[in-house]
């Protein structure tokens, strides 16, 4: 076979595919209803383009395609800086190199086309999101016919990698989600969630865990952590080396954690009020009674922070102040800026969820997990499709990804109420706009000192949104910005010596994050030590560590940590 002729035929075939894809995408974006998008992604206003800009994009695209086609495989090889196509197999396979190069051109052009849309901001964001999803799915690396690394492995293993890939696919179909790690290597209570403790209280919504002190003395004011109920609590206790729970205990904090029950149909009617009154406030009161102190310190992480803020507002409305200080980690209180998740939220979407489950039902954990994965499709979806199925690989053992796959359900009424009142209408920051547990909420009455943490690269709670809490909460504040994202920025122990954080010591909190950063300084390493010092300032004097869990007959050890609730699967 003549190589040049084979190259030309293959390249011409791929070029035709690209041209067809361009036409289809252009037609989709110009269609009045954006027919390929889900109903929740429909535009707010008609979509149009600047004719001159559109013609320039088309001209530039066709010119670059022609140039690439004319230069042939030598020019295509190594032309892409995309890590998906960085291996030697891509560079040494002319057709694969060309596919990667033309895909890069296609991606740049489609992205420019999405940016050229003339519509309201929300519609533009939705179109860009849809284009990004389409481009991630259409990468040549996702197809065996165009992936030279997968082909090489199939030849090298005499087809065994393909057989393993099919087995992996069948396994993941049975379990209902793509394997991101070797889940067989982990067991809750054995090699994750191992900090020693006991369940000292439980009801139908949560178990309260108390941890065994690691110091001879503890601070007299106990410390309660409220994790998000859309995940399991042990993100705070993965391994001893990166456990925020163990770190708090080692700092002399008498530490308690809420471990949420994974809801089933018996909890399908539970509301936001139920979770605030019967869980967060109940946990605060239980810890206060066990500690024998009038006040405790509390921490809320992500949605747990939103729930803690709501509970504090309820307690303030009742004239009660059982919490001396609060820490909010990557928490939305002001929902003005919800980042990429905003593309899903509008009146139609929220009303649909209210109709589906507002009066009862479950928001399935796997549905939420899939949504969050597709916020980063290349890293959290297609990377594993290629590795698990095309190459027949078993993903490495990674505690964080095991936790990420251990998903939880949510009661429908809780979820629908949360969407409307926070994500859609942003009512928590409006004094008197929300009634929770029979009380009108006003965060202006929540005057306790707070420590607010946000991650610079967080795509779930944008850093500016985390900072916005400083403008809402009236008490004495300390704000810190950490490097990395929603999880990696938080779970960053000092012993790792990784990343950095930013602090500002003049006590000023201007209206915008950028203005705050102008007076902030970058500090190497973890923010945990700064937080531990701050928390000790609110924890009271040191007293002898308790010799037993709980207190009296009302609160005593029910079972060892991590307890039963965290073991329940969605």
Checking DSSP bridges between strand 323-329 and strand 450-455, what pairing results, if any? parallel
C-alpha atoms less than 13 angstroms from C-alpha of 279 in its C-beta half-sphere: 26
Same domain, 232 and 113: no
For residue 12, pLDDT beyond 80: no
Per the domain annotation, does 55 fall within a domain? Answer: yes
Give strand pairing partners of 297: 223, 325
Per the domain annotation, does 371 fall within a domain? Answer: no
pLDDT at res. 546: 97
pLDDT at res. 424: 97
Same domain, 283 and 354: yes
Decide: residue 20, CB within 10 A, 0-12 exposed, 13-18 middle, 19+ buried: exposed
Q: Which residue has the tokens 């006040």?
A: 295
Give the pLDDT band of residue 33 (cuts 50, 70, 90).
Answer: very low
Token pair, residue 296, equals 């405790």
Mean pLDDT of the chain: 90
Domain count across the chain = 2
- Residues involved in catalysis: 302
Domain that holds residue 12: 3-155
Q: Which residue has the tokens 């985390």?
A: 466
Per the domain annotation, does 463 fall within a domain? Answer: yes
Same domain, 129 and 252: no
Per the domain annotation, does 251 fall within a domain? Answer: yes
Q: Average the pLDDT over each of 40-49, 369-378, 507-516 and give the range with the smallest value.
A: 40-49
User: Which has the closest alpha carbon to 404: 488, 468, 483, 528?
Assistant: 488
How do residues 58-114 score in pLDDT, each as one tens digit?
A: 888 888 888 887 776 555 554 567 889 988 899 888 888 888 888 988 899 989 988
Same domain, 277 and 337: yes
Q: What is the dihedral of CA 244, 245, 251, 252, to 10 degrees?
A: 170
C-alpha–C-alpha distance, residues 558 and 1, integer Å:
75
Ramachandran angles phi, psi of 480, nearest 5°: -135, 140
For residue 32, pLDDT beyond 80: no
SS3 222: coil
Per the domain annotation, does 393 fall within a domain? Answer: no
Same domain, 210 and 293: yes
Give the pLDDT band of residue 176 (cuts 50, 70, 90).
Answer: confident
CB 410 within 8 A of CB 229: yes
Per the domain annotation, does 486 fall within a domain? Answer: yes
Give the pLDDT band of residue 54 (cuts 50, 70, 90).
Answer: confident
Same domain, 446 and 508: yes
Per the domain annotation, does 181 fall within a domain? Answer: no
Same domain, 545 and 452: yes
Domain end residue (candidates: 128, 155, 182): 155
Same domain, 465 and 560: yes
Q: Which residues contact 194 (CB under 8 A, 6 or more apart)?
A: 237, 239, 240
Q: What is this structure's pTM? A: 0.89
For residue 29, pLDDT beyond 80: no
For residue 37, pLDDT beyond 80: no
C-alpha–C-alpha distance, residues 179 and 172, integer Å:
6
pLDDT at res. 58: 86
Same domain, 550 and 429: yes
pLDDT at res. 567: 95
For residue 241, pLDDT beyond 70: yes
Three-class HEC string of 23-43: HHHHHHHHCCCCCCCCHHHCC
Q: What is the DSSP string of 403-455?
A: HHHS---EEHHHHHHHIIIIIIT--TTSTTS-EETTEE--GGG--S-EEEEEE
C-alpha–C-alpha distance, residues 210 and 562, integer Å:
10
Biggest CA–CA distance in the chain, Å, is 87
Same domain, 251 and 141: no
The whole-number average pLDDT for the span 309-327 is 98
Same domain, 142 and 213: no
Same domain, 232 and 86: no
Per the domain annotation, does 37 fall within a domain? Answer: yes
The whole-number average pLDDT for the span 159-188 is 94
pLDDT at res. 106: 87
Domain end residue (candidates: 136, 155, 174): 155
Q: Which residue has the tokens 């190199």?
A: 97
For residue 464, give the CATH number of its domain: 3.40.50.1820
How do residues 477-522 score in pLDDT, each as one tens digit?
A: 999 999 999 999 999 999 999 999 999 999 999 999 999 999 999 9
How far is Cα of residue 341 from the mean position of the Cα atoms in its chain?
Answer: 10
């Amino acid at each position: 076979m003549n190589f040049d002729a084979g190259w030309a035929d293959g390249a011409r075939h791929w070029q035709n595919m690209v041209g067809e894809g361009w036409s289809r995408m252009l037609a989709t974006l110009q269609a009045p209803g954006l027919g390929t998008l889900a109903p929740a992604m429909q535009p707010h206003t008609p979509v149009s383009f600047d004719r001159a800009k559109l013609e320039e994009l088309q001209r530039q695209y066709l010119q670059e395609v022609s140039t690439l086609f004319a230069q042939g495989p030598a020019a295509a090889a190594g032309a892409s800086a995309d890590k998906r196509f960085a291996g030697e197999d891509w560079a040494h396979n002319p057709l694969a190199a060309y596919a990667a190069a033309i895909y890069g051109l296609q991606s740049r052009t489609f992205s420019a086309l999405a940016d050229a849309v003339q519509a309201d901001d929300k519609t533009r964001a939705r179109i860009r999101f849809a284009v990004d999803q389409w481009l991630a799915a259409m990468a040549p690396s996702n197809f065996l016919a165009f992936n030279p690394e997968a082909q090489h492995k199939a030849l090298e293993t005499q087809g065994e990698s393909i057989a393993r890939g099919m087995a992996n696919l069948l396994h993941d179909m049975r379990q209902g989600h793509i394997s991101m790690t070797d889940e067989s290597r982990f067991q809750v209570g054995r090699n994750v969630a191992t900090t020693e403790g006991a369940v000292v209280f439980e009801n139908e919504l949560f178990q309260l865990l108390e941890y065994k002190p690691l110091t001879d003395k503890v601070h007299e004011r106990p410390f309660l952590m409220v994790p998000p109920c859309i995940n399991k609590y042990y993100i705070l206790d993965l391994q001893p080396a990166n456990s925020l729970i163990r770190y708090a205990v080692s700092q002399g904090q008498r530490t308690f954690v809420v471990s949420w029950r994974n809801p089933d149909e018996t909890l399908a009617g539970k509301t936001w009020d139920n979770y605030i009154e019967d869980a967060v406030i109940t946990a605060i009161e239980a810890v206060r009674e066990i500690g024998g102190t009038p006040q405790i310190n509390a921490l809320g992480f992500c949605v747990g922070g939103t729930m803690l803020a709501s509970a504090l507002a309820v307690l303030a409305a009742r004239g009660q102040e059982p919490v001396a200080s609060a820490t909010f980690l990557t928490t939305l209180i002001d929902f003005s800026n919800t980042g990429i998740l905003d593309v899903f939220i509008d009146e139609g979407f929220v009303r649909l969820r209210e109709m589906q489950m507002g009066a009862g039902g479950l928001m399935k954990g796997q549905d939420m997990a899939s949504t969050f994965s597709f916020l980063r499709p290349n890293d959290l979806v297609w990377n594993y499709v290629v590795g698990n199925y095309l190459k027949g690989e078993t993903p490495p053992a990674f505690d964080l990804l095991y936790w990420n796959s251990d998903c939880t359900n949510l009661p429908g009424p809780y979820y629908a109420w949360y969407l409307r009142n926070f994500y859609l209408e942003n009512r928590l920051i409006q004094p008197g706009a929300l009634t929770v547990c029979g009380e009108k909420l006003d965060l202006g009455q929540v005057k306790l000192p707070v420590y607010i943490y946000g991650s610079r690269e967080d795509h779930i709670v944008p850093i500016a949104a985390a900072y916005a809490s400083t403008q809402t909460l009236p008490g004495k504040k300390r704000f810190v910005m950490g490097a990395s994202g929603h999880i990696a920025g938080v779970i960053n122990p000092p012993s790792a010596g990784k990343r950095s954080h930013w602090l500002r010591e003049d006590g000023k909190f201007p209206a915008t994050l950028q203005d705050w950063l102008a007076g902030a300084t970058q500090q190497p390493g973890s923010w945990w030590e700064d937080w531990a010092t701050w928390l000790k300032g609110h924890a009271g004097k040191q007293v002898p560590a308790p010799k037993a869990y709980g207190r009296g007959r009302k609160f005593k050890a029910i079972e060892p940590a991590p307890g039963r609730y965290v073991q329940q699967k969605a």
